[in-house]
Amino acid sequence: MIFKYRRQQKVAQISSWSGSILIHVLLVILLLLITQSRPGKPGKIHDGKKVSIEVSDSKDLIAEQQPLDAIQVSALNPWAIQTPQQPDVQVLEEISQITTSEPTISMKMSPSDLENSLSGNWASFMSQSNLGELGATFFGLQARGGKFVYVVDRSASMANGRLDAARNELFHSIESLTSRMSFFIIFYDVDYLKMEAEGLVKASRHNREIYFEWARTVPAAGSTDPTKAIQFALRLKPDAIWLLSDGEFENDSVVDQIRATNQISRIPIHTIAFADNSGEDSLRLIARQNRGNYRFVSP
């Protein structure tokens, strides 16, 4: 029995070894088939034959490459820098002709024709603005702007033709204003008489006729103190004020009060000593302190 068992055990071992050998043989055959299907290295012998591999030179490979089109390159690389196209020569010539041409205006064109040639908002702006207006003069003292107040002495000393002479120059000054400019008239003694208007009025022909007629009715009377008249004139916020006086002021504080009232607005006040220069010192000081000019006028 023991002998029979050992014999069976040997048969099993032999069968196991045979199976293992068979599997290894199959694996070797499979490896040989795989290696034959792949190219070998130079000098490598496969199945008794020498296999060689040809490698092209890298320069030949680069030379054979074809350049890509610019559109293809930009499509592959969106960040590629593209060469700018040269502008058309004809287009450049047309632009040069446009930019080098200069507008010409006929010097024979009248001011009215020039204004009529303007169109749209520009014409409206020119007609409504004060461009080109240098101001006005009163007894030779020029003031800049377009809004003026005339403060004229009507005290008793202005009788005997002085007030009439001052009035005539007043009318002449206002007549020189354009219709777009404005004016206001104030006569004073210790108080003041003003035009019947709420504020500055346009220097139209109609307004000139109305307020000139009123000015002719103002008589010479009273003393000389322009303080209240100037304070009212400053409230109108004109571009300039003319102050005319024919003598000394009754109130010594006139200069200081005018300066204090005009300290913020700083409206120019031009002063005129008319026929009598006894009040010259005060008038000079008022002009100097209020950005104005002084002048003595003998009728």
Write down the pLDDT at residue 85. 53
Q: Is the dihedral of CA 86, 91, 94, 100 positive or negative?
A: negative
- 0.85 exceeded by pTM: no
Write down the pLDDT at residue 93. 54
Q: What are the structural domain ranges in the chain?
A: 2-59, 136-297
Write down the pLDDT at residue 33. 77
Q: What CATH class does 136-297 carry? A: alpha beta
Give the separation between CA 235 and CA 28, rounded to whole angstroms. Answer: 121
Write down the pLDDT at residue 156. 97
Write down the pLDDT at residue 266. 96
Write down the pLDDT at residue 78. 45
Q: What is the mean pLDDT of each run of 10 residues along the chain (299 residues)?
A: 52 62 78 63 46 45 44 44 51 48 39 39 38 78 97 97 97 97 98 96 98 98 97 98 95 95 96 96 98 95
Write down the pLDDT at residue 70. 42
Please give, one letter per residue, the 3-state secondary structure of the chain.
Answer: CHHHHHHHHHHHHHHHHHHHHHHHHHHHHHHHHHHHHCCCCCCEEECCEEECCCCCCHHHHHHHCCCCCHHHHHHHCCCCCCCCCCCCHHHHHHHHHHHHCCCCCCCCCCHHHHHHHCCHHHHHHHHHCCCCCCCEEECCEEECCCEEEEEEECCHHHCCCHHHHHHHHHHHHHHCCCCCCEEEEEEECCCEEECCCCCCEECCHHHHHHHHHHHCCCCCCCCCCCHHHHHHHHHCCCCEEEEEECCCCCCCCHHHHHHHHCCCCCCCEEEEEECCCCCHHHHHHHHHHCCCCEEEECC
